[in-house]
Amino acid sequence: MPDLLADPWGRWILASVTEFDIGASIDKISARNAYADLVFPKDDVILPEGYDQILAPLAEGLDIRLNRPVKRVEFDEDEDGVYVDGEWADYVVCAVPLGVLKAGEIRFEPALPARMREAVENIGLGSVTKIALKFETAFWDEDTQYFGLQTAPVGRWGYWVNYTPFVDENILLGLSFGDYAFQADGLSDADITRDAMEVLRNVWGTDIPQPTAMLRTKWSQDPLFHGAYSYPKTGTQIADFEAFEDPVLDRLFWAGEHTLFDYHGTTHGALLSGRRAAHILVEWETSP
């Protein structure tokens, strides 16, 4: 490992593959559990029209109330129920991001079991920053899907995805990872565009055009997330993720990518954890 870290291309591989995949700086990731999870046995998929294609059918017919962040969950042991910000329910499925739990933005009364509180503390939460730049014309090889760039600092827009095969637009998607992702998250829209374009111009030349549009992420700066997705940091045990498998007082169930170690940090992990919570709840409710 020391030789790989000292080699510029070796360090780029670790950043573009490991730091991007796991969502944290290489020096913070657990060597034991970094790749102890599973690989989903299906192809990667890009949804040009967005995740609404998945969410809209699932949300049909449900009473969904937006812009109402939960602040308090109280267990009513006398009435076998739960109060969520004063509203009573038989059960609760808590699917808030790990960052919200880490920030202590939801007050649980009584407090969560010690095992769960320790898991919230022990599981790492990283960030991966994306910037999508749209151009009038493509100045890159449109037949190349991925571009790997050796940049400094490491993790600074070192990986670019050519989106022209997926959409009828000239779009490059850049990614920052590791420690640099947090730095990129803190940049203004103008500064992050300037930063990404400086990297592109170092490769394709100073005469490439300015983008006509930009979209970006800043997960670590978002108060509803505080980070992109969970990862096993140094000292994290698989058991920390498994702490969320059991409900609290038979009323509070868990979902979210951070509650399913095998597929943590993924969309399908979040979906599968929700299905798991639903199955457990139904079995719980219908059992004699």
Beta strands in the chain (DSSP E): 72-76, 81-84, 87-89, 92-94, 107-109, 124-126, 129-135, 146-148, 159-162, 170-176, 213-216, 229-231, 252-254
> Longest C-alpha distance within the chain, in Å?
72
CATH number (domain holding residue 144): 3.90.660.10
- Return the percentage of the chain with pLDDT > 90, whole number: 77
The pLDDT, as a whole number, for residue 5 is: 66
* 46 within some domain: no
* Residues 202 and 244 placed together within one structural domain of the fold: no
- Tens-place pLDDT, residues 38-54: 988 888 888 888 888 88
Is 69 found in the same domain as 103? yes
Residue 1 pLDDT greater than 80, yes or no: no
The answer as to whether 105 is a domain residue is yes
Per-residue pLDDT, 54 = 85
- In the three-class reduction of DSSP (H, G, I as helix; E, B as strand; rest coil), residue 155 is classed as coil
Q: Which of 164, 184, 216 is the last residue of a domain?
A: 216
Alpha helices, DSSP H, located in the chain: 2-6, 8-13, 20-22, 52-59, 98-102, 114-122, 179-185, 189-204, 238-242, 267-286
Does residue 197 carry a pLDDT above 60? yes
* pLDDT per position as a tens digit, 108-131: 999 999 999 999 999 999 999 999
Domain count of the fold of the chain: 2
- Structure confidence at residue 58 (pLDDT): 86
* pLDDT value of residue 12: 80
pLDDT at 260: 96
The predicted pLDDT at position 288 comes to 66
Of the candidates 33, 29, 239, which has an alpha carbon nearest to the alpha carbon of residue 118? 239
- Give the type of residue at 286: T
Query: Is pLDDT at 34 greater than 80 in this prediction?
Result: yes
Q: Is residue 109 assigned to a domain?
A: yes
Domain-located, residue 202 = yes
Tens digits of per-residue pLDDT, 146-161?
999 989 898 999 999 9
Q: Which two tokens stand for residue 228?
A: 């992109």
pLDDT average, residue stretch 236-261: 96
Domain hosting 66: range is 52-124+225-286
C-alpha 150/C-alpha 10 separation (Å) is: 10
Residues 79 and 205 in one domain: no
Confidence of residue 2 (pLDDT cuts 50, 70, 90): low
Q: Is residue 191 in a domain?
A: yes
